Chains A and B, each alone.
Chain A
Amino acid sequence: MSLTSLDVTGFYALLRREVLRFVRRPRNTFVPPFITNVLYFSVFGVILGERIDQIAGVPYILFILPGLIVLGAVSNAFENASFSIFHGRWNRYIEEALTSPLSYTSMVGAYVLSSATRGILVGVLVALIGVFFTAVGVAQPFYLVAFMLVITLLFAGLGVIGGLWADDFDDLTMMNQFILRPLVFFGGVFYSLNEIPEMFRQASLLNPMIYMVNGVRYGFLGVTEVDPNLSLGVLSALTFVVVAVNVALFRRGYGLTD
């Protein structure tokens, strides 16, 4: 069998396995973000939102919708990749793939793409919940699709690094609580950059989440506080670097081999 046909079949087999893993467990993968986002929209959008004036020319509930989609998409993309790889290492069944003739690029590709798929599906789920609470359109479809693809791929790639780095389940929780959550909450999901002091505004610009949230917001609402083209370019480059690091780590056997 040629390595090319092996690559295609092998990559598809691992991708399929990874997608089936989360699709068959909706209670663990889709129900939690559903409930969390119903609560977010109810509390922040409806109860608090009615007491807040428009932000950036749109009602508050509409302003936070893209941010909540980003929050759901990136955290699920990250969690999927980190959990799947770490759980496979912990129970050693990742060796089924590692001892196969799959190339390291195919392995990384399957983990990243399947995790990005879960991120996008959760993003769509959050959008549907949002539609239930408020009317929303898509102002810039290209940017919406492009940003969603790039950010879920980026966080899936970061999740691969997390899954390889973690030594126990507490490390996974720690990454989510102490790295991902602060980045998201200070990433302009719930507030506008124009409404915070200049010093904090400048500091916020160092947070990559700002560019993701604003990119998706631009896609939905056509409003943004940062240049969408620059954001898309930088995030795409970052994604490329992170995935290249993933492949290098697999090739080196980091966290995978003795």
Chain B
Amino acid sequence: MQSAIEIRDLTKSYGDVRALDGVDLDIPEGSFFGLLGPNGAGKTTFINILVGLVRKSGGEARVFGHDVEADYREARDCIGLAPQEFNVDRFFPIREVLEHKAGYHGISQADAKERADEVLKRVGIYDKRDTRFDWLSGGMKRRFMLARALITDPDLLILDEPTAGVDVQLRHELWETITDLNDRGTTILLTTHYIEEAERLCDEVAILDSGRVLEVASPDELMDRGTDDIVVQLRDPPTAVPDFAADDDRVDAVELDGSRLVVTAQQGGLVAPDVVQALDRDGHEIVDLEISRTSLEEVFVEMTRQGEGRATAEVQQ
């Protein structure tokens, strides 16, 4: 399958600061891809290189095979961008802003009018079509950013923090719209601070930190690498429990607090039956059992913390 985005050894420096430091990444066509990272990780710089708002210092960046600098027109024609910051023309009502944007992409005036109405209806702000951007509420502004990204019917939709500052209901509506687009074949590149968003929506995520890609994997694969807590509530406080860690190398720790036993293990769902059997064998009565899966957020925090450590060590060297 062709890559929607193909990145090789991409670098961007601002003086001594390396915003991107040798990024390699392939984002398959049709995928829903998440770019996660703490503030200053280089996510927005990465996106802005793709759309031509930032000039790369080195390496290669291609969108559907088009080099973002040599074939910038073809590359930009494939992309719909909803940036984090509002960058909307304040002089015109929002429908006209959409018509202008469509026009810049070579869409005729008659088609642009039709498309503008269509995308405004899709994001639910058609009745505000003659209003200027400044007069929209915060949630409507976010909806409009998505509408503008969709007006050109892009093959690649880039969403930089699309749900920042919106309420739960609108977030779910936006998720639905984006998922629907992805189901119909649009490749989505999403950056978000809401890890739950990436966990729910993305096929694959890249974790970016200090301008480097730390990991590329599906959310499930990443979560499998973390540890789960198997919390067992026993009828009576035991004097001793089986040494699970000695018997199973997936078990990291065992902690007993009165009648509450917590077994920390990788792949907790697979370890839990063994824990139950062993406790049963030793005559302990179980009254409750809960497996607390590690979240993508915990994995993310752990990975970026390690990244910080690496960066500090490099600076010290």
Contact = CB atoms under 8 A, between A and B. Distances in A.
B103 interface: yes
A91 B87 contact: yes
Interface in B88-131: 88-92, 97, 99-109, 112
B101 to A, nearest CB: 5
A93 B104 CA distance: 13
Interface of A: 1, 3, 5-7, 9-10, 12-14, 16-17, 20-21, 24, 88, 91-93, 95-103, 253, 257-258
Contacts, number: 96
A21 B53 contact: no
Contacts of A13: 99-100, 102-104, 109, 112
A1 B78 CA distance: 11
B51 A99 contact: yes
Main secondary structure of the interface of A (DSSP, over half): helix
B79 interface: yes
B54 A10 contact: no
B106 A1 contact: yes
Contact of A9 (B52, B81, B86, B107): B107
Contact of B89 (A1, A3, A10, A93): A93
* Count class of interface residues, chain B: 35 or more
Interface of B: 14, 45, 48, 51-55, 72-74, 76-77, 79, 81, 83, 85-92, 97, 99-109, 112, 148
A98 B104 CA distance: 9
Contacts of A16: 100, 103
B100 A17 contact: yes
A69 B99 CA distance: 35
Contacts of B53: 95, 98-99, 257-258
A6 B77 contact: yes
Contacts of A9: 103, 106-108
Given A3-B73, A20-B92, A96 B104 contact: yes
Contacts of B105: 6, 10, 100-101
A177 B194 CA distance: 50
8 contacts: A1-B77, A10-B105, A13-B99, A14-B103, A17-B89, A92-B86, A100-B104, A257-B53
B52 A6 contact: no
Contacts of B72: 101
